[in-house]
Structures are given as C-alpha cells and as structure tokens.
Structure 1
Amino acid sequence: MLRSLDIRDMLIIERLSLDFHPGLNVLTGETGAGKSILLDALGFVLGWRGRAELVRAGAAQGEVTAVFDLPVGHAARAVLEEAGLAPEDELILRRVNAADGRKTAYVNDRRTSGEVLRALSDTLVELHGQHDDRGLLDPRGHRTLLDSFAATDPLRAATRAAWSALAAARKRMAAAEAALAAAKGEEDYLRHAVAELDKLDPQPGEEASLDTRRRAMQGAARIREDVLRAVHALGNDGAEGLMRDATRWLDGAAEAADGRLDAPMAALTRATIELADAAQGVEEALDALSFDPAELEAAEERLFAIRALARKHGVLADDLGTFAGDLRLRLSAIDGGEGNLRALSAEVATATAAYDAAAAALTEARREASGRLDLAMAAELGPLKMERAVFRTDVTPGDAGPEGRDAVAFTVATNPGAPAGPLNRIASGGELSRFLLALKVCLAQGADAVTMIFDEIDRGVGGATADAVGRRLARLAEGAQVLVVTHSPQVAAKGAQHWRVEKRVTGEVTTSSVVPLSPSERVDELARMLAGESVTDAARDAARALLDG
C-alpha cells in the first residue's frame, strides 16, 4: 500500500506531502490544476519513463519520495532480495532529478538503478486509464490475468515441471545424437587405430626396457671381438699353453739346479692359478656378451614400432595403452549408441506425454475459467450501461512452453452483430474506460497488495453510468487501496478520502498544491463539480445527496 508521497521542486510543485489511506482515495480539481503532475511524480519515483523535463524552473534538483507498506509475502520482497537489498516492512523509494538531467535512485537509502525501481513498480502499483498500455490493454499479459482469475498456480507449476523434464530429455537426446554422429564420422579411423594398437599391445615401461636391451646388445657387438681375442691369448694356444710348457721344462731341470728354480717354479704355479682365474672370467664375460642377432633385430623392430605409433597419435609411448582404452570407449559409444538413442527416445516420449497431459489440464482449466470470466463481465457491463456489449476471452492454441500451449486474448464487440476485436481497437474512450473497470473488478482477487490508480477512467460518462463506475471503484477498494483522478462528482462522492488539486499564481510563479478536504469542504467541491463556477445551494444539496447515497 502507498502510505505517503513527498514531492520537492517538480514541475509546478514546490513542496507537497500527501498521506494516503486504504480504500478509495479520490483527487479532483479543475482542468490544468496539476492532477496529472501527481501521476508524473509517482511514475518518476517508480522508474517509469515520462516527461524529460521535470525539475521546477529555478531549482537545482527535483526529488520525489514514496513510502510503501510491505506485508510479509509481498512480491516486492523477492525483487529486493534479487537486487541484493534487504526487505523491510517499510519500503522507501527516493529518486532525484538534477537540473542537468541526471537521475539518481535510492531504495531504503541505498543507491540503486532505474531497472530495480521499474521491477518494484510492477509489484506495487497498477495504472489504469484510457491510454493504459502497461496492464489490461497489453495482450501479452492476458494469459497471466486469466490464470490469476482461474487460480491455476498448481496446474502451472505441474506444467512448468513437465516442460523442464521434457526440455532436459530433449537436450540429452540431442547431445547423444550429436556425439553418435561425430563418433561415426571417425569410425574407420577408430577401428583401424584400435586394431593396430591391439596387435602391437604396448605395455607401460616397455619402450625403456627395449631401449636398454637394444643398447646392451649393440655394445656387446662392439667389444665381443676384443674379448674373444683375449680368450684366445689366455687359452691353450696362448699364455696358458706357454705357461704349462714352461712349467714342464723347469720341472725337468729342477733337480739339477740345486734349488735355484724352486722359487721361480712356485711363482709360476701361482701365476698359472691367477691366469686360469682370469681366463675363466674372460670366458664368462664372453658368454654374457653372446646374443642372437635375430633378437637384436626383433627388439629394434618392436621399439621402432612403439615409437612410431606414439608419434602418430601424439602421445607418450607409455601412454599408448591408456590411449587405446580411450579409443575403445569411443568405439563402444558407437556400438552402443543406437541402443542408447532408443532408450533416450523412450524418455522423450514419456516426458512428452507427461507434458501433454499437464498442458491439457491447464488448457481445460483456462477454457472453463474463460467462460466464467465472460459471464462475470456480462454482469458488470450491464450496470455500466453496456448491456449490449459482448466481452469474450479467447483461448486458442499457441506455442508450447513452460506456461502451457495456449494463447489468451480479451476481445470485445460493442454492439450485437459487430465484429469482435482487441479492447483498444474496438472500444471508444468512454467504453474502454468502463471495459477496463469491469475487467479489473472481475480480476481483483488478491489485489490488496497492489495500489491501483485509475486516471480519469470515468471520462465520457455521467449520470447513472458515472454512479455505477463510482460504486464499482468503491467495491474494488474494499480491502485494497485505489487512487482515482476524476472529474465526475458521482465517482468522487464514493471516496473514503478526498483531495482537491489547486493551482495558484503568485506574481509570475505558478504552483500546484493538494488540499485534503473536510466534510464541509468536500460538499463545496462536489457542488463545484456539479454546478461549475457558481456554486448554488441547490448544488450543495445535490452534493450532500451524492455523499449520502
């Protein structure tokens, strides 16, 4: 609910403070007194786009502050939380317009953007009038209005959940199809590469092992010839044979040498033993250096094959086994892809059936509610002197989406046999006002959280019709807050609070003010609205009759 509005230096308002109340609040005044300025100021603080020049002439800046009460659960609280602003029971909107055109907005004294103000305004205020393009005249909002009338929240929640599930199933299906198509594009490569890797079957660490073995065999080939020469030099045909001959010769001469050969022969015996050990070691080394040339060729061939595959696939030799496993997985995706697609297709079909059922239930609820709304509108249009007009809620097939697959449009025919069409194209100004009022009365469920503003919605009507308009505005204001800018005394008489907008000229300065009316002042204001400039006792009596009625 709008609790107060404070305006400083805006257009022809120098300073103005208004305290509003629940129920029907009416503002009256002569044409040009500044009633529209109040709406301009309220629209400014709510972030609406309006006049470019708002600052009062000679002022450095203009400022508007609006205070709203926010009960628990009010939709504005969610907007505040999304904007990073802490919700409170009192919401203070303030917006400053500098003389150079710069605008600054605050929410509860925290600076914010015009977008946040506009998002808040959608939850705080509804403006209705002959040029209303934010509410009932906007066909894009008709489905939401019908859903509110029909109380379809549970059905819409089920439809949104079914749509989300269907969208997720379709996304998985599309991803699987894309993956399968991409995999099939490289199927020949995958099968060839896997066959090649499986045939070679490289093992982790094998490349290093083969390289070490190959180097060892290559080294053995280079030194084995020298080792073999050493074996021959130390063997029977070499040193060992000569030492045996020397031992035999000295042994035959030892008896005649009177012991002179004993020491040399002992040394020769020791040398023979050492020589035998050396010869045995060299022979063992020769045996160790022995290899099969075919084995070297096979090792080199496998080592080169492993390194070639690693280069071909751009991986390390030790990673070839893992790489082969990855290729096998991609192949298995192809081999099992068709079966996976069949399973996903079944999921899509199940999700589609669930969405169809939820959307059909929502469509049925909307069609049933559209009939009730049309009947309710017919009941409201009669007292508004539009009993010959026909209001119809059309529910037609539309594009499927999270809110169902229905298109909703409000159409009217002002006379029997006349073609039906959109509200803003068929109805005249006065008719349009009454259509909007009747529709708002029918759709008023839950409107107590929103301040409804009707800007001269009674224009073009008078007498009993204006009285009917006033009665419906008063009924709409029960348990809610309604602000009405009106020239109709029949409407003004139904207000719970009444303000008169006045324009004064002091010197060459024009200012506008708003005055709350006492009961006697209210009689005079209604008499002025009835009789014009010359207020007579008869006009006052008529005004009292309106207030009593």
Structure 2
Amino acid sequence: MLRRLTLRDFAVVSASELEFGPGMTVISGETGAGKSLLVDALGFLSGLRADAGMVRHGAARAELHADFDPADAPAALDWLREQEFDDGQACTLRRTLRADGGSRAWINGRPATLSQLSQLAGLLVEIHGQHEHQALLEKSSQLALLDAFGRHDAPLAAVREAAARWSALLRERDALSRTGDVSERIDWLQHQLGELEREDLRPEALETLVAGHRRHAHAASLIAACDETLSGLSGDDEGPSLERRLQQLRGGLSRERAHEPRLEEVDAMLESAAIQIDEAALLLQRVRDDLDLDPVRFEAMDATLARLHELARKHRVAPEALADTRAAFAAELESLREAGTRLQVLDGEITTAAGAWREAADALGLARAATAGRLSQATTGLIGELGMGGGRFEVALEPVDRDRPDPQGGERVEFLVSANAGQPPRPLRRVASGGELSRVSLAIEVAALGSDAVPTMVFDEVDSGIGGAVAEIVGQKLRALGDSRQVLCVTHLPQVAAQGHAHYRVSKADRDGLTHSAVQRLDAKQRQEELARMLGGVEVSKEARAAAKRLLGNAG
C-alpha cells in the first residue's frame, strides 16, 4: 500500500507531500491544475523514460519519492530480498529527473536501474488510464490475472514441473549429441590407458625406482669409496687401524690423568669416538656388501625410467602426476561408454516427459477456457453498467507451439473488447479512447476482484466521457474495489468523487509570474464545498451545496 508520495519541483508543483490510507482516495481539481501529475509521478517512479520537461521551470531537477508498506505485497518483499534491496519492512522508491534530461533512481536508499525500479513498481502499483505504464495491456499480465481469477495454482504448478523435467532431458540430450561420434576418442583413450596401466605408477614405486637407478648409475665409484674408507679404518702395513691408534692415545693420557682431572672427560670422548668408528665400519661394510655392478638390472631400470619420462612428456605432466592422468582417462572412457547407452534411453524418457507436459497443459487449458468464459461474462456485464451499452469483453486463448516445453502452458491470453454493439472485438491495447480503456480496466479489476496481487490501483480520468447515473455506478465500483485494494482515482465528476474514503484537491495559483500547484487534503466541510464546485462551476449555489451533501450522504 502506498503510504506517502512526495514531489519537489515537479512540473508546476514546487513542493507537496501526500499521505494515503486504505480504501479509495479521490483527487480532483480545476482543469489545468495538475491533478494528473500525481499519476505522472507514480509513472516515473515505475520506470517511465525521463522527461526533462517535467522539471519545474528554473529548477535543476525534480525529486519524486514514494513510501510503500509492502505488508500486502509479499511478492515485492521476495523481490527485494532476491535483489538484495531489502531493509526490514521498508520499501521506498526515489527518482530524480534533471533539467538536462538525465535521471537517477534508488530503492531503499540504494542506487537502482530503471529496469529494477520498473520490476519492483510492477509488484506494488498498477496504473490504468491514458499512460504508457498499464500492466493490463501486457499479455503476460492478462494471463496471470486469468490464472489468479480461476485459482489455477495447482494445474499451473503441474505444467511448470513437467516443463522443467522435459527441458532438463532435452538439455542432457543436446549435451550428449554435441560430442558427436566418440568411437575414435574411445579407441584413443583405450590405447593411452593400455600404456599407462603397464607401468607401476604408485608414488612409492617411483621413489624406489629413482633411488635404485641413481645407486646403480654410481655403483663403481661407490664401491671404490667404500673400499678406500674401510681400508683406512682397518689399517694396513703402513700403519695401525684408527681404533688401535685411539687406544694408544688413550693409554698415553691415562698415565697423566692423576695430574689433571679434566683429562678424564677427554678420555670418555675418545672412548665414544672409538665406538662410533667401529659402528661406522660395520655399516659401511654392509653398504659395500649390497653394492653390485649388475649392468642388466641397471639397463632395465634405465629403460623403465625412460618410458615414464616419455609418457610424462606425451601427456604434458610430471611423472608423479601420471597416476592422476590415468584415473582421468579411465573416468572419461567410462563416461563415453555410458553416453551411447544413455542416448538410447533418453529418447524414450523425452517422449514420456513431453506426454506428461501435454497432459498437464491440456488440463490447465480446459480450466483456463472455463475461467475465460466466466471472466468474459462478468466483465461484459460490468462494461454495460459503466456506460458502454452493447459493449462486449472476451478472453481469447491463443495456442502456442506444443513441441517445446513451455512453463506457462499451451496457450496465451489476449483480452478483446468491443466498445459498441455490432463492432468486432479488438485487443484491449488497441482501444482508441482513453476513457473507454480506463472503464474496461475498471470492469476487469472489479470482475476479478481479489485476484490481482497488486495492492495499489490507480485510475486516471476513468470517468472520461460519462456522467449522470453511469458516473455514480463507476464511483460505486471503484469504492467496492477499494474494500480489498488501495484505489487512487483522478476524477472530474462529483458522483465519482463522492464515493471516495478520502479526498485531495489540486489547485493552482500564479506567484511571481509562475504557475504553482498545491495539493490539500479535504475535511468533511471542505469536501462538500469541492463537490458543490464540481457540480455548479465557478458560482457555487445553495442547490449545488445541497446536491453535494446528498451525494456524500448516499455514498456514506
């Protein structure tokens, strides 16, 4: 529900703030006073193209601000959350129009695009009249209203679910078909896997191979180094072994230990060194015993390592990554083998899914046909009451392509109107008269009362071209609509204005050579006087005041 609308430097309005409540609010005023500017402001806040001509003369920019209570618009709250514009229960739209033709928009204080502004406004307010922004002229809105009127939630959900299933299967088949003939790829993968599976690619096996190859490659020098070291440790004809030499050194120190206690620590170190040398000699002997000059084994390891490096270069990976490459090839091969089988199964599943969608679409189509008849009959009756005697309203169902999944079903909707008897019905968007269009829109909304999810409806000059009893009926229908929706109505007829729950008057005055408009909320006495003016013109007579009082009494 619209709670507040603020205008600044907009057309002839220098500054104005309007508070709105539930029910029906009427806006009246003299011709040229700017009473339709409030509707224009909502249009710009709904994403209409910026118009520099709407900036008040002498001002740099016009500012428009609308504050909504989205409690009655859950779809708008969901949209705010999805688009990350949510701020608790706040819902404010702001837009500036610059004199140079530019504009900017904000949602809940955050910059927004005109597309985002339009999407959100479409969930909050619906404008009917001689304006570009009229949701009922769009086929998508017409279809949504028909489904809401007929309460088609269940069959529509079934169609959407069936369409989603069918679409998913078609996408899967397209993806598999794009791979083309995979036999060559399968043969290539099998050959690559054969090469890789002949090798032991475990990390520990690779480490053992590399270490063994290095040891055999340096076996001769290793043997010579071990022999030389062992010879030095064990001694030869040229001198005693290191162990015997250490014993001799320890013996010489032992004779002097009594004179220097610290020599005992030196003796302990030499004893430990002797033990370490002995252990080193034993380990070195074991290493020497393990070393063997085996050219055949070395050649085998060298050949294996060469094959691994060649495979690594071929697949452009390190030798350590060959195991992962083999696993990837194996997974792809399995997938390609399954793809052929899956393609054969998919055709059957797609046929079944298409049949399920068509069955659900047929059920929805039957429900829509029945609902279209009820809505056509109800709206046609209301059109006659609203001064379009002989007029006719029809809901035409247009079939769509049933060979592709459509989540909206197997048909689209077109609202058709014949304004006068004997004339063929034409699409609603092509109705020439703005007044007729507004009255037809009103009739549709009243006939579908409670079905439209948009909480605020604006009717601009809905009473154009009518008067008398018909005008009173129009007002009564608007008031009835206001029982379940917030209704804003710009009118010049007192019979319509009298039906409002609240009343604003727009007036104009010349100040400093410029025209200024002011908007005033009327109390009971002021309202009676405004209705009398609307009835009697410039000179308000006692009869006009009495008639205004009767209109208000009848409406109350």
In the superposition, the TM-score normalised over structure 1's length comes to: 0.75
Separation in structure 1 between the aligned mates of residue 80 and residue 544 of structure 2, nearest angstrom: 50
**Matched positions, count:** 483
Separation in structure 2 between the aligned mates of residue 213 and residue 182 of structure 1, nearest angstrom: 49
Deviations 1:241-297 (A, max 9, x none): xxxxxxxxxxxxxxxxxxxxxxxxxxxxxxxxxxxxxxxxxxxx9xx9787x88887
Paired letter, 1:160: R
Deviations 1:83-111 (A, max 9, x none): 43444445444445566666555555x34
Q: 1:6: which partner in 2?
A: 6
Separation in structure 2 between the aligned mates of residue 428 and residue 183 of structure 1, nearest angstrom: 64
Q: Which of 390, 393, 399 does residue 391 from structure 1 map onto? A: 393
Q: 1:498: which partner in 2?
A: 503
Deviations 1:190-213 (A, max 9, x none): 344445556778885386488569
Paired letter, 1:164: A
Separation in structure 2 between the aligned mates of residue 289 and residue 481 of structure 1, nearest angstrom: 100
Paired letter, 1:470: G
Change (3 A) 1:300 1:482: closer
Q: 1:39: which partner in 2?
A: 39
Checking the alignment, whether the CA contact within 8 Å between 1:448 and 1:481 is kept in structure 2 is no
Deviations 1:20-66 (A, max 9, x none): 23222111112101112222334445554353244433446544443
Task: Name which of structure 1's ranges 202-211 and 133-142 shifts more when overlaid on structure 2.
Answer: 202-211
Separation in structure 2 between the aligned mates of residue 153 and residue 124 of structure 1, nearest angstrom: 21
Checking the alignment, whether the CA contact within 8 Å between 2:68 and 2:92 is kept in structure 1 is yes
Matches within 5 A, 1:97-112: 103=103, 105=105, 110-112=109-111
Q: CA deviation at 1:484?
A: 0.9
Q: 1:245: which partner in 2?
A: none
SS at match of 1:340: helix
Separation in structure 1 between the aligned mates of residue 120 and residue 321 of structure 2, nearest angstrom: 60
Larger radius of gyration: 1
Separation in structure 2 between the aligned mates of residue 356 and residue 147 of structure 1, nearest angstrom: 18
Q: 2:136: which partner in 1?
A: 136
Deviations 1:360-414 (A, max 9, x none): 3322222221111111112212212334222111122225422323211111233
Q: CA deviation at 1:422?
A: 0.8
Task: Name which of structure 1's ranges 535-544 and 316-325 shifts more when overlaid on structure 2.
Answer: 316-325
Matches within 5 A, 1:18-417: 18-59=18-59, 62-71=62-71, 74-89=74-89, 91-96=91-96, 103=103, 105=105, 110-115=109-114, 116-179=116-179, 181=180, 183-195=182-194, 204-205=205-206, 208=210, 211=213, 215=217, 307-316=309-318, 323-324=325-326, 326-399=328-401, 400-417=405-422
Q: CA deviation at 1:504?
A: 0.9
1:420 equivalent to 2:425? Answer yes
Separation in structure 2 between the aligned mates of residue 498 and residue 524 of structure 1, nearest angstrom: 12
Separation in structure 2 between the aligned mates of residue 507 and residue 56 of structure 1, nearest angstrom: 14
Change (3 A) 1:299 1:494: closer
Paired letter, 1:131: H
Q: Which of 439, 442, 447 does residue 437 from structure 1 map onto? A: 442
Separation in structure 1 between the aligned mates of residue 550 and residue 169 of structure 2, nearest angstrom: 68
Change (3 A) 1:491 1:187: same
Identity %: 39
Q: 1:464: which partner in 2?
A: 469
Separation in structure 1 between the aligned mates of residue 525 and residue 299 of structure 2, nearest angstrom: 122
Separation in structure 1 between the aligned mates of residue 15 and residue 441 of structure 2, nearest angstrom: 33
Q: CA deviation at 1:523?
A: 3.6
Checking the alignment, whether the CA contact within 8 Å between 1:183 and 1:330 is kept in structure 2 is no
Deviations 1:129-187 (A, max 9, x none): 033543112223211121221222233333333333333333333333344x3633423
Checking the alignment, whether the CA contact within 8 Å between 1:124 and 1:450 is kept in structure 2 is yes
Separation in structure 2 between the aligned mates of residue 335 and residue 65 of structure 1, nearest angstrom: 63
Checking the alignment, whether the CA contact within 8 Å between 1:70 and 1:88 is kept in structure 2 is no
Could you tell me which runs of 5 or more consecutive residues in structure 1 were left unpaired when the two chains were aligned: 224-284
Change (3 A) 1:547 1:320: closer
Task: Name which of structure 1's ranges 350-359 and 506-515 shifts more when overlaid on structure 2.
Answer: 350-359
Q: CA deviation at 1:456?
A: 0.4
Paired letter, 2:376: D
SS at match of 1:130: coil
Q: CA deviation at 1:356?
A: 3.0
Q: Which of 519, 537, 542 does residue 532 from structure 1 map onto? A: 537
Q: 1:17: which partner in 2?
A: 17
Separation in structure 2 between the aligned mates of residue 88 and residue 319 of structure 1, nearest angstrom: 53
Change (3 A) 1:58 1:329: closer
SS at match of 1:71: helix
Checking the alignment, whether the CA contact within 8 Å between 1:384 and 1:468 is kept in structure 2 is yes
Change (3 A) 1:47 1:332: closer
Q: CA deviation at 1:305?
A: 5.2
SS at match of 1:479: coil
SS at match of 1:35: coil
RMSD between aligned alpha carbons?
A: 3.7
Change (3 A) 1:107 1:335: closer
SS at match of 1:186: helix
Q: 1:251: which partner in 2?
A: none
SS at match of 2:148: helix
Paired letter, 2:538: E
Change (3 A) 1:214 1:45: same
1:451 equivalent to 2:456? Answer yes
Separation in structure 2 between the aligned mates of residue 330 and residue 351 of structure 1, nearest angstrom: 28
Paired letter, 1:171: R
Separation in structure 1 between the aligned mates of residue 397 and residue 218 of structure 2, nearest angstrom: 88
SS at match of 1:458: coil
Checking the alignment, whether the CA contact within 8 Å between 2:139 and 2:412 is kept in structure 1 is no
Q: CA deviation at 1:470?
A: 1.6
Change (3 A) 1:149 1:194: same
Separation in structure 1 between the aligned mates of residue 511 and residue 309 of structure 2, nearest angstrom: 100
In the superposition, the TM-score normalised over structure 2's length comes to: 0.74
Paired letter, 1:535: V
Checking the alignment, whether the CA contact within 8 Å between 1:63 and 1:95 is kept in structure 2 is yes
Separation in structure 1 between the aligned mates of residue 302 and residue 308 of structure 2, nearest angstrom: 10
Paired letter, 2:343: L
Could you tell me which runs of 5 or more consecutive residues in structure 2 were left unpaired when the two chains were aligned: 225-287
Q: 1:262: which partner in 2?
A: none
Separation in structure 1 between the aligned mates of residue 394 and residue 173 of structure 2, nearest angstrom: 42
Change (3 A) 1:405 1:450: same
Checking the alignment, whether the CA contact within 8 Å between 1:104 and 1:111 is kept in structure 2 is no
Task: Name which of structure 1's ranges 396-405 and 97-106 shifts more when overlaid on structure 2.
Answer: 97-106
Q: 2:257: which partner in 1?
A: none
Change (3 A) 1:319 1:435: closer
Change (3 A) 1:53 1:329: same
Separation in structure 1 between the aligned mates of residue 421 and residue 299 of structure 2, nearest angstrom: 104
Deviations 1:508-533 (A, max 9, x none): 23211123334444344333333333
Paired letter, 1:338: G
Separation in structure 2 between the aligned mates of residue 50 and residue 298 of structure 1, nearest angstrom: 83
Separation in structure 2 between the aligned mates of residue 102 and residue 130 of structure 1, nearest angstrom: 24
